[in-house]
Amino acid sequence: MTRTLLALSMLLSPLRAQDVDDILRRNREADKQNEERAKQYTYVEETDNFEYDKHGERKKTGSETHDVIFVEGESYKRLVARDGKPLPPKEEAKEEKKLQQTAEERRKARRKGLLNFTRNVSISSEDLAKLCDHHLLGEEAIRGRKAWVIEYTPQKDRVPANQHEKDVLSFRTKVWVDEAESATAKLTLLAIADGTFLQPGSMMTIEATKINDDAWLPVSTVFDARIQIALVIRDSVRTETRNSNFKKFDVKSTITTGDQ
């Protein structure tokens, strides 16, 4: 019986590996298709900021509210409130000036053909596939939907070719892949080694959900971090972000007022 079970295990393991590879392939395709739809949404972003004292007690230090809108066809975050209160007139005027300056800079860039609509991603799925090993941890429910949980771990003894690869190899990554649609429903990045300005133990968690039966968009982000700047380690900080009031717009038609 033991030999039979061992033989079955040896036969099934390659199949499981192939299944995980297929899940990740479909996940990459789904996220790529979702990217353009997701970039057509505006929303309200509310962020609470915290610091931890030497006893590990968390203290809220403030909050900010941004309108994430389109300016000259690209996403733009405009500060609209602080600590739950609208900005005073002088600060509101400064924010309006920043918006108009950004619009003018983007118009000039567009005339020169320099405007880039691609998104900068610090750690891409290609980075993970190249530099990390992966395995299936199991299933979990995320916001009432079943998801596969897949963990990426840096390849053992992998020597980074550059600083970017060193940064990627500093994290252990988990991805929750929606079983029905293959989209990324949740993502965690855990710093496990020096390599970035983040110290080991820092973690970011992002959860997404499907909006308007159309696009998957991030609805919450929690970032616990110990940050090193110029060899000085700051006390741990935490940010909690919630996104709401999603609205779809035609990005090409969202042109800020001013000369074209």
Digit-coded pLDDT (tens) for 235-253? 688 999 999 999 998 655 5
Residue 180 lies in a domain: yes
Residue 159 structural domain = 36-65+120-252
Is 170 strand, coil or helix? coil
Residue 11 scores a pLDDT above 80: no
Residue 220 lies in a domain: yes
Residue 104 lies in a domain: no
Residue 44 lies in a domain: yes
Tell me 155's DSSP state.
P
Q: How far apart are the first and last CA of the chain?
A: 77
Residue 170 lies in a domain: yes
Contact yes or no for 223/191 (Cβ under 8 A)? no
Is 141 strand, coil or helix? strand
How many domains does one find in the chain? 1
* Mean of pLDDT values over 4-30: 66
Q: In the prediction, which pLDDT does 112 show?
A: 65
* E runs forming strands in 53-154: 58-71, 74-82, 85-86, 132-142, 145-154
Residue 134 scores a pLDDT above 80: yes
Q: In the prediction, which pLDDT does 84 show?
A: 95
Residue 52 lies in a domain: yes
Residue 111 lies in a domain: no
Residue 18 lies in a domain: no
- Residue 17 CA, distance from chain mean position: 26
Instruction: Measure the CA–CA gap between 191 and 179, rounded to whole angstroms.
Output: 27
